[in-house]
Amino acid sequence: MTDLHIGPASESDLAAVLAFWKAAAEGTSISDDLDGVERLHARDPQALLLARRDGELVGTVIAGFDGWRCHLYRLAVHPERRRQGIGSALLAAAEERFVALGGRRADAMVLVRNENAHGAWNAAGYRSQDQWTRWVKPLNG
């Protein structure tokens, strides 16, 4: 097995990332379109980290930092490449980014129904916070 390469997405990667999420990510978001991902990339080109093996996209994570808090989104590994350390490597890269930016705590958006992911997050040292509930409101503009 060849080495895993993790680095930020380029603008030319964004359409492929969206296609990848359809196969590898659980659930969708209102911003899971090219316009949304292009906005993310324009605002913070280092936030979307991609894992590649032999040039093939095998994993993603968004490591967003707003200057105050560190947020993880879209940790996804290709279904045929799971349990090979790709998710752990992506989280390590995201956490390194956060530390370099001065972050002190990371939180992750994980679907309650995505029970397969819960063990991976737990193994990585993340814990569910039962006292918090996410509240959302779509912004129609």
Summarised one tens digit per residue, pLDDT across range 3-51 is 999 999 999 999 999 999 988 887 666 667 899 899 999 999 999 999 9
pTM for the complete prediction? Answer: 0.90
Q: Can you read off the two tokens belonging to residue 51? A: 């894992």
Task: Please say if the pLDDT value at position 1 is more than 80.
Answer: no
Cα distances from 81 to residues 8, 11, 23, in angstroms, run 20, 24, 12
Task: Please say if the pLDDT value at position 134 is more than 70.
Answer: yes
Q: Please give the pLDDT value at position 30.
A: 65
From the centroid of its chain, how far is CA 107?
11
Summarised one tens digit per residue, pLDDT across range 66-115 is 999 999 999 999 998 988 899 999 999 999 999 999 999 999 988 888 88
Structural domains in the chain, CATH included, are 4-123 (3.40.630.30)
